[in-house]
Structure 1
Amino acid sequence: MSYFDNKVPPKREDRLKAVIAHEDTICNMARKAGGKSCLIDDGERGFTQGSICLLLPALAMLNTLPDNVVLLHSALGCGSCTHSQNANVRVGSNIRQGKAKDGIWLSTALDETDVISGGEPKLEQAIIEADRRYRPSTIAIVAGCVPGIIGDDIDGVALKIQPQVNARLLPVHCEGFKTKIWATAYDAVYHTIGRNLLEERGIHDPAPEDELAVFLEQQRLARTVNLMNVSSMGRVDEQELERLLNSIGLETNVFPVFSHPDSFIKATRAALSISTCPTHDDYFLGYLQERFKVPSIIRHMPIGIDNTSLWLRDVAAVFGAEEQAERLIAAEVAELKEALGEFRPLFEGKKVFVSAGEFRALATSRLLQEIGLEVVGIRSFHHDDFANVEYEKLAGEAKSDYVVDIANVQPFEEANLLKRLKPDLFLGHANGNMTAAKLGIPTHVIYNTGLSYIGYRGVYEVARRLHRQLKNPSYNRNLSQNTRLPYTENWYGAEPFSYLNTSGRAVNE
């Protein structure tokens, strides 16, 4: 039975055996990957500090959909993250559609009375009001923790109210307490898209006068690929990948971020789906292949020189465009390596620590190796088998073995590691660079939707920005002299993973 036959998608702990609590080294992880499986036992922390709720990445996707209303069925505060996300929604919609638009979100604002008596009547009223007020194409009904605890059936409410509204109702299960793997949010969004928006459409028995048009459309679709985008990818990165794919004769259907719900059907008719981030894409690409026979490639993230080349070669092989791809790769790499020459003298001997979601952290670490920096540590927010190939690449180019911390944030571990490793540079999420910055380490965001990171252009742009950062680290140096972190010297002197119980390690009492 397909996962999509169920109302709720499985959590990644069950589906992918993903883990969030593990300490290892890059070489050891690569050895495990060489055994064809890097499955590891998940651990527990005797002390935990900070995490990420499913709602944040789910809303980052849903708020970008044009002509969509997000209806949070939850306590009011659960929608607070949408305020910070709205800048990206406005900029992204302006770049792609020529008009800056705010994401529209509402909340049922569940309170103590609703917890006792149930929130379904309030949800029904909110759906009808959202449809009447905004006339959207879709309404995403996003369940937070409270409905999951009290047993509200958002799918049942959607089924009941659907005949009364024009918008297509999309129930999204983001009950944060059900999983520790925040990337399950991607599955939750794709689950409702697959169940409620996709249907198979084609042209059957065309009239004689339409046969040429049908033939030409079929020829076009035979060279059309689904290019999966993510909410952390800006338009400049999409354009870079479109440029590369167009250069080998392919058309692209960029999907799903900032794609209108009515256009999602295009995804079912493409010749191939191409992942840009396996962490983000695997659940949905599996469904497209299972339900609509659209094959997919889900191996490399096109960040860095080698990964972009491998990504492009995989796509070209499907369409018999290997020669075109090799000519393109040779020209791009030659030009890029010449351009990087000015940065390498400053990068020589410089050490860097990387922190991000699994694939973003690993692929970016490979890019940093390629431009001459030495990676001395990686903190990945979770781990699953998709990362195997990346561990092998990194270990093969590592100057020495280094630490891999699988942690859903945990800044106290990060602070300890940074004190020990003393990197010259730190790359992490925009809201996760504070620890390094206050320690005086120059920082750079590992993604920003206004900047370039992906493809060959991304390599140069990342190198250019890091070169500028390393040339003038005075801001972080001054910050460290005037601020302090809330950790004692005893903690900095302790073993950084003393609170982690995994691989036989005892938890600090």
Structure 2
Amino acid sequence: MRYFMTLENDFIVFHGNLQQLLDKVESGEMIPKLQASHAPMCKFFTSYYVISGIRHVVPLVHGPTGCPLYMSDFVRTRECCEIRGIPLEPTACTALNESHVIYGGEGKLLEAVKEAYAKYHPDLIVILSCCCSGIIGDDVESIAREAEKLIGCRVLALRSEGFGGDFRSGYEDAFKLIMELMEPPKTKMKGTINILGARWGPTPTEFNWDMDEIERLLGEVGIKINAIIAGGCTVEQLRHAREVELNASWCFDWGQKLGDLMQERFGIPYSRTGQPYGPEATKEWILGVAKPLGMEAEALKVIEREMEEVEPEIESLRQALSGKTAIIEISEFPGPIRALSLARMVAEFGSHPVVINVHPYTIKERMPSIKFLLEEGVNPEIILTKGLFRLGSFRSSKETEDELETIVKKYDNAIFFGNSGRFPPCPVVNLTLMNPAFQPQYGFRGIKNISALVRQALENKDLPRSRLFRGMLYGTRTN
């Protein structure tokens, strides 16, 4: 591997490959601790994200009004409604005060469930406990069972207090809860699957453009989707989720736990595939779904036709990336699993991938997915810098910007994949998902879009970047 000629840079904390980083995390040599500025969302937040991915559901937060404020405004209003055009759906709250903390809030919760149903008539109400109700020990499960007898829809309860687990357990416990809505199958829907692991309906890391490309390719093969769980699915779709022949995921990382649980409990096979970035991963994803359904022949025909259509873009990417060092940074985007999927893709086109700042906490919390990627041969060069561990955050900071610029200078023929708000001395491929003109990034249409972005980066590499904009983001340089 083309590592640095020297490791004398005092800001480098780790330099090796993904397997070596995993070994250090597992052995405890690199302790995956996070300070507050780096801390991920709590269990309550991520539980809410999954539940909000179900249509016509009322999340009922059992706690003070502050807990649902950010969630209802940012998630349900700005992300789901304004970006995806979904009608605004409510978030309810029991608005606990000092008296409820002393005497208990179970009576308030029961009345809140009845009020939420009378106002909105949802298909589902999910009670979410937060730190306050978790500390006083309110029995949210019993209230949910009692309330369901009094109103006209299902009522479920999820213990999601922030101290009760980390962001990962919030996602996974919410997916487990959703399984309670899945009724025993009355029939088997031939050639039909579920897509697992979506959130928010869906989130900024899984915008519907990528989902649309997955659905398009499956439709070309003749495969139908019952539900995208929980990326805008309905309660009715969840009821029929056990009638499919197979479960697949848009991302192995988020779909894996639910896929394994549904296979263990319901006997539904789970297709273990990564993200469909680039030709090979896209072929593997399609065949990973088609083969268990006995539709391999149909899938191969679709793959052949699609490959012919994108051959010019594939050749363009080979010419553009061959012999280059692809610097892939994890900050606002692309996130750890997408970054590693991108590393595989650029290697396919002849580049040497270098992934910057995969936090050890990420390795710990995504251990099954990291090991899955290693089994698939994804083992890129990894660099961790001091800026990742200091007072900055996962977002771009002046310190990590300076480190990035120094790193890029160490490599010949570098090209940067990530956030356009970075200023490395090399071509910048703007992969932010808020760039809809070049979406999706998955599948064969994704190959066309990524090819266009790479071409754009190379054609504009000599244009001067704005010093004013850089100064606004990172401050001006001082000697």
TM-score by length of 2: 0.77
| 2:53 is equivalent to residue 64 of structure 1 | yes
Q: Which residue of 162, 166, 169 corresponds with 1:176? A: 162
Which shows bigger deviation, 246-255 or 366-375?
A: 366-375
Change (3 A) 1:475 1:76: farther
Aligned residue identity for 2:288: D
Change (3 A) 1:366 1:26: farther
- 1:97 corresponding residue in structure 2: none
Residues 174-253 of structure 1: pairs in structure 2 closer than 5 A:
174-180=160-166, 182-195=167-180, 197-202=181-186, 218=188, 221-228=189-196, 230=198, 231-232=202-203, 233-253=206-226
Aligned residue identity for 2:173: A
Give the C-alpha shift of residue 70 in structure 1.
1.5
Q: Which residue of 368, 371, 382 corresponds with 1:385? A: 368
Structure 2 CA distance for aligned equivalents of residues 121 and 487 of structure 1: 59
Q: Which residue of 325, 329, 332 corresponds with 1:354? A: 329
Contact 1:279 1:358 in 2 (8 A): no
Contact 2:246 2:293 in 1 (8 A): no
| 2:69 is equivalent to residue 83 of structure 1 | no
Change (3 A) 1:311 1:171: same
- 1:455 corresponding residue in structure 2: 443
Contact 1:115 1:150 in 2 (8 A): yes
- 1:140 corresponding residue in structure 2: 126
- 1:108 corresponding residue in structure 2: 94
Give the C-alpha shift of residue 292 in structure 1.
2.1
Structure 1 CA distance for aligned equivalents of residues 81 and 194 of structure 2: 24
Residues 55-85 of structure 1 show CA distances to partners (whole Å, capped at 9, x for unaligned) of 4443333223222111122332322143222
Contact 2:60 2:91 in 1 (8 A): yes
| 2:280 is equivalent to residue 306 of structure 1 | yes
Give the C-alpha shift of residue 294 in structure 1.
1.1
Give the C-alpha shift of residue 281 in structure 1.
1.4
Change (3 A) 1:360 1:183: farther
Structure 2 CA distance for aligned equivalents of residues 186 and 179 of structure 1: 10
Residues 321-360 of structure 1: pairs in structure 2 closer than 5 A:
321-342=295-316, 349=324, 351-355=326-330, 356-360=334-338
Residues 306-337 of structure 1 show CA distances to partners (whole Å, capped at 9, x for unaligned) of 21111122222213333333333233234324
- 1:208 corresponding residue in structure 2: none
Change (3 A) 1:81 1:441: farther
Structure 1 CA distance for aligned equivalents of residues 464 and 273 of structure 2: 39
Structure 2 CA distance for aligned equivalents of residues 285 and 187 of structure 1: 11
| 2:291 is equivalent to residue 317 of structure 1 | yes
Structure 2 CA distance for aligned equivalents of residues 101 and 438 of structure 1: 41
Task: Give the secondary structure class of the aligned counterpart of 1:66.
Answer: coil
Aligned residue identity for 1:388: K
Q: What percentage of residue pairs aligned between the two structures are identical?
A: 21
Contact 1:347 1:373 in 2 (8 A): yes
Point out which structure has higher relative CO (alpha carbons under 8 A, 6+ apart): 1
Structure 2 CA distance for aligned equivalents of residues 445 and 82 of structure 1: 28
Contact 2:429 2:453 in 1 (8 A): no
Which shows bigger deviation, 273-282 or 108-117?
A: 108-117
Structure 2 CA distance for aligned equivalents of residues 190 and 464 of structure 1: 37
Residues 455-474 of structure 1: pairs in structure 2 closer than 5 A:
455-468=443-456, 471-472=459-460
- 1:479 corresponding residue in structure 2: 469
Structure 1 CA distance for aligned equivalents of residues 426 and 129 of structure 2: 40
Contact 1:48 1:410 in 2 (8 A): no
- 2:3 corresponding residue in structure 1: none
Contact 1:438 1:485 in 2 (8 A): no
Give the C-alpha shift of residue 454 in structure 1.
1.4
Structure 1 CA distance for aligned equivalents of residues 241 and 175 of structure 2: 12
| 2:22 is equivalent to residue 49 of structure 1 | no
Give the C-alpha shift of residue 485 in structure 1.
5.9
Give the C-alpha shift of residue 457 in structure 1.
1.2
Task: Give the secondary structure class of the aligned counterpart of 1:202.
Answer: coil
| 2:338 is equivalent to residue 365 of structure 1 | no
Task: Give the secondary structure class of the aligned counterpart of 1:104.
Answer: coil
Residues 409-424 of structure 1: pairs in structure 2 closer than 5 A:
409=394, 414=400, 417-422=403-408
Give the C-alpha shift of residue 470 in structure 1.
5.9
Structure 2 CA distance for aligned equivalents of residues 360 and 194 of structure 1: 27
Change (3 A) 1:32 1:133: closer
Residues 26-70 of structure 1 show CA distances to partners (whole Å, capped at 9, x for unaligned) of 63517979xxx9955471548552322234443333223222111
Aligned residue identity for 2:207: G
Structure 1 CA distance for aligned equivalents of residues 183 and 308 of structure 2: 44
Change (3 A) 1:277 1:343: closer
Structure 2 CA distance for aligned equivalents of residues 371 and 74 of structure 1: 52
Give the C-alpha shift of residue 445 in structure 1.
5.1
- 1:403 corresponding residue in structure 2: 383
Give the C-alpha shift of residue 245 in structure 1.
2.0
Structure 1: stretches of 5+ with no match in the other structure: 1-22, 95-99, 204-217, 490-509
Change (3 A) 1:47 1:164: closer
Residues 109-152 of structure 1 show CA distances to partners (whole Å, capped at 9, x for unaligned) of 33444333333232222111111111111112122222222222
Structure 1 CA distance for aligned equivalents of residues 227 and 161 of structure 2: 29
Residues 456-482 of structure 1 show CA distances to partners (whole Å, capped at 9, x for unaligned) of 212322332354356557566432234
- 1:130 corresponding residue in structure 2: 116
Structure 2 CA distance for aligned equivalents of residues 377 and 273 of structure 1: 30
Structure 1 CA distance for aligned equivalents of residues 406 and 89 of structure 2: 43
